[in-house]
């Protein structure tokens, strides 16, 4: 895959791992990130440093909501492929800072779509989310399920992204694929994710909060499995449907929901410490269970997640202890 890839959200969790995979495949990667302070900026800089070790990587610090700057970037770089992972993430934060989601997830994505309309890349792949399924109790989640009832603003912006992408694929012939990610975890992960704070609190002897009194199930998906799926999807733009449009949506998860209590139990075993549990009610905008139906992505790309939580949490904890241990020395 020797081509120029524009990677947005390059300093993010999935962005860094995807960037490394692309560089190892011989791509020239132009990374874009605003390096905002939603969480620890130093972690983002340290991720970025791993990419900057490659000669084939270049970085642009840029807020995608700035229309003129994005247009100039696309015209200058003229990427063969675009992997759009930049977004304001987090369900709960969307209750506190809604405008950040409009700026990053709606305006930013529109500017990316406009850039693609002008330079016509081979393929645009963008990040959606399992959150679009809202409070649906129909499990597992299938791509053709109705997703018209989001229960958080974050989910609403991701559903809007899918609609925006569909319209641009229809109007301008841009080959576009959307990926609905399911609870991605692993080394270099996001500190706002539960497994990250659980690890920190257990090591510090502080309590962890289990929402919905621990009756939560998540389709935890290890980062290496996610990246493998993303690479497979990027290589093959969607074929035209009966109307001539080249657009597709895929779930990308683990197809194996784990009860949160079991996840914590495994984490305790890996850490060699017991957690202090605090039970709490369901959070606004949250759902009790997620479960990805992978029929479509298995059929089209042979995607098969391989990493168990037992394996994945060992790798995450090894990274966590090394990364934060170095900072304390």
DSSP state of 211: G
Q: Is 195 an annotated catalytic residue? A: no
Q: Which of 201, 328, 220 is nearest to 275 (CA)?
A: 201
DSSP state of 193: S
289 phi and psi angles, rounded to 5 deg: -150, 140
Distance (Å, rounded) from C-alpha 15 to C-alpha 25?
A: 15
3-state SS assignment for residue 251: strand
306 phi and psi angles, rounded to 5 deg: -120, -15
Question: H-helix or E-strand containing 213?
Answer: none
DSSP alpha helix (H) spans, the chain: 13-24, 41-52, 67-77, 93-96, 98-101, 108-119, 153-172, 194-204, 223-235, 260-271, 295-301, 309-328
DSSP state of 127: E
Q: Which of 141, 154, 217, 250 is flagged as catalytic? A: 154
HSE (side-chain half, CA atoms, 13 Å) at 171: 11
Distance (Å, rounded) from C-alpha 325 to C-alpha 225?
A: 27
Distance (Å, rounded) from C-alpha 286 to C-alpha 103?
A: 22
Distance (Å, rounded) from C-alpha 213 to C-alpha 219?
A: 18
Distance (Å, rounded) from C-alpha 276 to C-alpha 278?
A: 7
Question: In this structure, what is the dihedral angle of CA atoms 136, 137, 141, 146, given to the nearest 10 degrees?
Answer: -40
Structure tokens at 316: 């995450």
DSSP state of 230: H
Looking at the annotation, which residues are catalytic? Answer: 154
């Amino acid at each position: 895959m020797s081509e120029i890839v524009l990677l947005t959200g390059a300093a993010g969790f999935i962005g860094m791992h995807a960037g490394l995979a692309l560089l190892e495949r011989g791509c020239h990667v132009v990374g874009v990130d605003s390096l905002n302070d939603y969480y620890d900026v130093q972690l983002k800089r340290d991720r970025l440093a791993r990419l900057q070790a490659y000669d084939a990587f270049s970085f642009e610090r840029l807020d995608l909501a700035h229309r003129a700057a994005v247009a100039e970037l696309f015209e200058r770089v003229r990427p063969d492929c675009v992997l759009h992972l930049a977004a304001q993430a987090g369900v709960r934060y969307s209750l506190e800072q809604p405008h950040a989601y409009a700026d990053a997830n709606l305006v930013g994505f529109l500017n990316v779509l406009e850039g693609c309309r002008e330079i016509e890349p081979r393929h645009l792949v963008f990040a959606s989310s399992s959150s679009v399924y809202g409070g649906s109790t129909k499990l597992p989640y299938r791509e053709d399920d109705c997703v018209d009832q989001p229960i958080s603003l974050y989910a609403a912006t991701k559903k809007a992204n899918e609609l925006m992408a569909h319209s641009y694929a229809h109007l301008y012939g841009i080959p576009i694929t959307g990926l609905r990610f399911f609870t991605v975890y692993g080394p270099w992960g996001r500190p706002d994710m539960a497994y990250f704070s659980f690890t920190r609190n257990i090591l510090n002897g502080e309590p962890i909060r289990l929402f919905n009194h621990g009756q939560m199930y998540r389709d935890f998906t290890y980062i290496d499995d996610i990246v493998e799926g993303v690479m497979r999807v990027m290589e093959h733009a969607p074929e035209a449907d009966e109307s001539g449009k080249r657009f597709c949506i895929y779930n990308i998860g683990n197809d194996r929901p784990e009860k949160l209590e079991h996840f914590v139990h495994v984490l305790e075993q890996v850490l060699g410490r017991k957690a202090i549990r605090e039970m709490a009610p369901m959070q606004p905008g949250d759902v009790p269970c997620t479960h990805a139906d992978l029929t479509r992505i298995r059929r089209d790309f042979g995607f098969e997640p391989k990493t168990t939580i037992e394996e994945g949490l060992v790798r995450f904890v090894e990274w966590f202890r090394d990364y934060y241990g170095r900072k304390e020395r």
